Structure 1
Amino acid sequence: MDLGALGLPPIFAAAGGLSVLDGPEHARLRALFVPAFAADRVAVLTPTLERIVDQLLDRVADQPLPVDLCEHLAHPLPVRVSCALLGLAPAAADRFAAATEEATRCFVRGFLERGVRVWQEMLRDLRQELQRKLAEPGPDLLTELTAGRGGSGVDTDTVLDLAARVLGAGHGTTSVQLGFGAVALLRNPEQLAVLREEPTLVPTAVEEILRFYPPVTSVGSPMRFAKVDTEVGGVRIPAGSLVLVSTHAASMCPQHFPEPETFDVRRTHNPHLAFGHGPHRCLADALARHTLRAAIDGLLRRFPKLELAIPVEDLRQTTYGVAIGFREIPVRW
């Protein structure tokens, strides 16, 4: 199906935007985001991020037991953080979260026309926000994208699509990552005990969660093409061949990770590939890390007796765009 004919902006109709672009066009669009996702910019957002986490954990605490961590924390958190980054009202977070989730699932399951309609509705909402930013600029990403579009040669439709991708990207991957992180700790009580005793290890634990449970494995990784003839593991790969790379397999390599199948929150040397590598490396890695740290720290601090309400083998999984995660995570304390 010709997605461009259905009315999508060119960057979306090009089947994936930044993830499939190369060369000058990729560099030009990526440069729009680099300042916004820089580590120092994300650090400024940290107090807002921590406030969002506490607000969501207040809601978790008010629910009858057992509580679904996916519904009340993992799913809403990334979109609320993205809304704060873009400068969107907190009240819009739930609406955009529902839209990005529905659109993504439609595309994954083949309901393309329905997915396009949902995506277009979200773009219309974002267009209204963009008009508001023109009248009332603020210290946020949407204002920067709007102010910079003329000099960068990026049109309004592309700005809208880039903003929509900021909302959608973290909703799948960071939601899934947080779910896996919570389950990883709850199913490894000795590791959880280490974190409770030494909460300063939370950043190290987050890196181990990223290594052990990457949000996107080979199934959701973008397709690549071999540039030259090569050989990997005794398999000949001719130039031009389509290649699907498992970054998870690389992060489990015993040559780089001692005892790679052991989940260890004290692991210090951790050069995992959860965020990819090279020019297509995830732009929002600093934001994802800060979000995961704030959420894990909040759970440890607020719920010292947190535990799974069902056996781990009974947890069901589903797809969230290119990521695979838990459908629900019932917990109690």
Structure 2
Amino acid sequence: MDSGTTAQQPLPRPFDAPFLADPLREYARLRAAGPVHQAALPDGAPVWVVTRESDVRAGLADERLSVSRTHASKAGGYRGFELPPALDANLLNSVPADHQRLRRLVSKAFTARRVERSREDIEATADRLADGLAQNGKGDLVADFAGPLSLRFIGDMFAVPEQDRKPFSAWVGTMIAPDHPSQIVDAVERIHRFLLDLISTKRASPGRDLLSDLIAARDSDDRLNEDELVSLAFLILMAGSENTQHMVSAGMLTLLSDPGQSAELRSDPALLAPAVEELLRYAHPNQMAIRRFAVTDLQIGGTRIPRGATVLLCLTSAHRDPDRYPEPDRFDIHRGPTPHLALGHGMHYCLGAALARIQIEVATDTLLRRFPDLRLAVPASELRWRTSWRSRSLVELPVFTT
């Protein structure tokens, strides 16, 4: 693809059927053709796609690339679905000063030390879910294990009623990767109403949970406004329920496809932590970091990006860049230090990184330890994926446990 494509020429549309069928092959093609490409999204919106690891890493920390849509120009062509203000005023869309203020309100709940104290509870939940798989002799690792595990901790943190957790997760999944664009509006409306009702309930009867603390910060201390309150709850619940479950399921598919390395992990628990880091590099479901907007004219990979343009930093492509990772398409639990970008870099480094690592580690250890004969119930080629230019995740992962 020619990164010098002019505005008068039709922009290439790389996120087409061949991309959906094999994203890694398409990213390899783009990377080989150049570090930065002007392209169009499926809706026709023009974007600049950054493909190489060094440029993606630098872009994630570059203050000239802002996540705030206030920097998007009309000429830049941003046409992304706009959430209502009550869901959009969060850490992923705020200017640095607001980002730091909001992050301080919740960061204590996600420190490595505090999350580590929850390890035993996460292990107990994983074992309980594994009991169900063992009893049935089979199951779906997305619906029966990874989903409930990821929802347990984040749901408890916000005191979300048990019966509401799966519906919320389903609405988020539809919003991110709908079968039809018309489903997005309905999913967003359901999420919005759910959060308003949840906050109303907690206002009337506060407890010892993070949502009650945030409501107090809003009502008593005026440290955030109402839209920021709702939006912050939305972001944390969405990220906590969506990303980890898809990372766990993609990670287990990777391991089930490599019996030799799975056996090594069973026999040597010391390999588990580095294996999780390699899984985050190799199998992370998010293909792109959240879109950025150029605050000023700048150069990326020798290409001029105009002020106001939409920039996509491609995490999946960066993680398969041979200039950064030797034999990047090979999964290797012995790779050594893996400074991946799956959890972000710079100001927007993942707030829940410590929680995500523990959940992935516990999930992986529990499944490998409890089920030495764990195997796919269908051929890998028949697995169903939910793929878009943003992410790629398994719809289900059917397995036999015995």
TM over 0.5: yes
Which secondary structure state, in structure 2, belongs to the residue aligned with residue 36 of structure 1? helix
Determine the structure 2 residue equivalent to 1:85: 157
Determine the structure 2 residue equivalent to 1:191: 261
Determine the structure 1 residue equivalent to 2:232: 162
Which stretch shows the higher mean deviation, 98-107 or 165-174?
98-107
Whether the aligned pair in 2 keeps the contact of 1:79 and 1:171 (CA below 8 Å) is yes
Determine the structure 1 residue equivalent to 2:33: none
Is 1:147 aligned to 2:216, yes or no?
A: yes
Is 1:94 aligned to 2:162, yes or no?
A: no
Deviations 1:166-185 (A, max 9, x none): 22112221111111100000
Whether the aligned pair in 2 keeps the contact of 1:53 and 1:294 (CA below 8 Å) is yes
Stretches of structure 1 lacking an aligned partner (at least 5 in a row): none
Determine the structure 1 residue equivalent to 2:68: none
Stretches of structure 2 lacking an aligned partner (at least 5 in a row): 1-78
Q: Which amino acid aligns with 1:177?
A: M
What is the aligned counterpart of 2:357 among 264, 275, 289?
A: 289
Is 1:70 aligned to 2:138, yes or no?
A: no
Identity across aligned pairs (percent)?
A: 35
Determine the structure 1 residue equivalent to 2:34: none
Displacement of 1:196: 1.3
Structure-to-structure mapping, 1:306-325, within 5 angstroms: 306-319=374-387, 322-325=390-393
Determine the structure 2 residue equivalent to 1:28: 101
Determine the structure 2 residue equivalent to 1:181: 251
Greater CA radius of gyration, 1 or 2? 2
Structure 2 length normalisation: TM-score? 0.72
Structure-to-structure mapping, 1:111-150, within 5 angstroms: 111-131=183-203, 133-134=205-206, 137-138=207-208, 140-149=209-218, 150=220
Q: Which amino acid aligns with 1:86?
A: F
Matched residue pairs, number? 322
Whether the aligned pair in 1 keeps the contact of 2:87 and 2:227 (CA below 8 Å) is no
Aligned equivalents of 2:225, 2:296: Cα separation in 1:
36
Which secondary structure state, in structure 2, belongs to the residue aligned with residue 24 of structure 1? helix
Structure 1 length normalisation: TM-score? 0.86
Q: Which amino acid aligns with 1:72?
A: D
Q: CA RMSD in A?
A: 2.8
Larger relative CO (CA 8 A, sep 6+): 1 or 2?
2
Which secondary structure state, in structure 1, belongs to the residue aligned with residue 358 of structure 2? helix
Is 1:267 aligned to 2:342, yes or no?
A: no
Aligned equivalents of 2:205, 2:179: Cα separation in 1:
30
Aligned equivalents of 1:237, 1:155: Cα separation in 2:
34
Aligned equivalents of 2:320, 2:98: Cα separation in 1:
33
Whether the aligned pair in 1 keeps the contact of 2:87 and 2:234 (CA below 8 Å) is no
Aligned equivalents of 2:86, 2:154: Cα separation in 1:
20
Whether the aligned pair in 1 keeps the contact of 2:87 and 2:230 (CA below 8 Å) is no
